[in-house]
Amino acid sequence: MPELPEVETVRAGLAKHVIGRRILTAQSFHPRAIKHSSIAPISTVAGAKITAVKRRGKFLWFELDRDFTLVAHLGMSGQLLLQSSNYPAQAHLRAKICLSGKWSSGKRSEIRFIDQRTFGWLSVELAKEKIPTSVAHIALDPFEAEFDLKAVISKIRVKKSAIKPALLNQEIISGIGNIYADEALWRAKIHPEIICEELSDIEIKKLISCATKVMQSAIAAGGTSFDEQYKNVNGESGYFSRSLSVYGRAGEPCSRCRTGIRRIAFANRSSHFCPRCQR
DNA sequence: CACGGTGCCTGAGAGC
DNA sequence: TGCTCTCAGGCACCGT
């Protein structure tokens, strides 16, 4: 499930290969692959040169030598693979973008958007101050230079909701999904259902610091993958899942206190936590 | 306004 | 064996 570290791994992999290349053709194969709010069909990007690959939270976009950008969101199961144009089409191939230049094999390369559950999308968008329309309402992620820790703390501390939904709220801090939320809460020793208002500034600061660190480690490991649902641009899985402390470990002993990890369902999600460490 | 709940979607795996 | 059911969770949207 792509969260910030997985999207960053994909972004970095793409950047290495596609910057400076021109898009020859672009086409979609599924009605949901292109977002409804896209200002133009995907084929519009043909002819544009890719000048940068950017990311904020879980949103990724290609800056082009045009007045529009190409935005991508991987949703639950989206993948962006860099492949040779003669490689057979895989199941769930939703769109492809053929690039200029050739590989050493003499074949063209293309970016393939593959998405089993079709919650991901591509979109052609205008950008205001370099931020695409669909990303405008998304908060900065903790890896951005302008990330304002104090502002995030003051937003969270007045909320009347549980802390976990606040951590998942992409308009407060972006990039954190269910896996890294559970991991950050465990590291900070905070119960997922505690109300934001009841936390001190110090505790919230600690929590954000833990979230940042766990995502930093996951980026270094190439992301988390449990199954076929997350791959980097070369089709490889990350290996951070073995470093997870609570997510997917219900019943296993907490690595700090040996108490069994509990799994509860709330806010339409599963939460994993240590009932002893996280009061 | 803030928040909680629901819909979208597919395939793996469980249970019968 | 093969059917049906549940679960996974990204974001947008709706109702309270």
Q: pLDDT tens digit string along A218-239?
A: 999 888 766 566 778 877 778 7
Protein-covered nucleotides on strand B (Cβ within 7 A): 2-12
User: Has A2 been annotated as catalytic?
Assistant: yes
Would you call A269 a catalytic residue per the annotation?
A: yes
Looking at residue A268, what is its pLDDT?
Answer: 75
| pLDDT of res. A49 | 98
| Amino acid letter for position A214 | V
State residue A228's pLDDT score: 60
Write the CA distances from A114 to A86, A108, A197, integer angstroms. 16, 18, 41
Does residue A89 come out as left (phi exceeding 0), alpha (psi in the -120 to 50 range) or beta? beta
pLDDT of residue A95: 95
Residues 154-193 of chain A: which lie with beta carbon within 7 Å of strand B? 159-162, 165
The reply to whether the CB atom of residue A118 sits less than 7 A from any atom in nucleic acid chain B is yes
- For the CA of A102 and the C1' of B7, the distance in angstroms is 43
Domains parsed from chain A with CATH numbers: 4-135 (3.20.190.10), 149-273 (1.10.8.50)
CA distances (Å), origin A122, targets A30, A76, A200: 11, 14, 40
* pLDDT of A117: 87
Catalytic residue check, A112: no
Active-site position among A35, A205, A269, A276: A269
- Is the distance between the Cβ of A161 and the closest atom of strand C smaller than 7 Å? no
Catalytic residue among A2, A5, A132, A192: A2
- Is the shortest CB-to-strand distance from A72 to strand C under 7 Å? no
Q: Which residues of chain A have pLDDT under 50?
A: none
The C-alpha angle with vertex A74 and arms to A123 and A86, in degrees rounded to 5, equals 85
Residue pLDDT, tens place only, A15-55: 999 999 999 999 999 888 999 889 999 999 999 999 999 99
For residue A194, what pLDDT is reported? Answer: 93
Averaged pLDDT score across all residues of chain A: 91
Amino acid A250: pLDDT: 87
pLDDT confidence of residue A238: 80
State which amino acid sits at residue A27.
Q
* Residues A115-127: b if buried by 16+ CB within 10 A, e if exposed: bbebebbbbbbeb
pLDDT, position A226 = 63
Say what the pLDDT of residue A156 is. Answer: 95
A27: β partners: A96
Decide the pairing of beta strands A121-128 and A108-115.
unpaired
Percentage of chain A beyond pLDDT 90 is 72
Check residue A260 and report its DSSP letter.
B
The reply to whether A58 belongs to the active site is: yes
Give chain A residues 182-241 with Cβ within 7 A of strand C. Answer: none
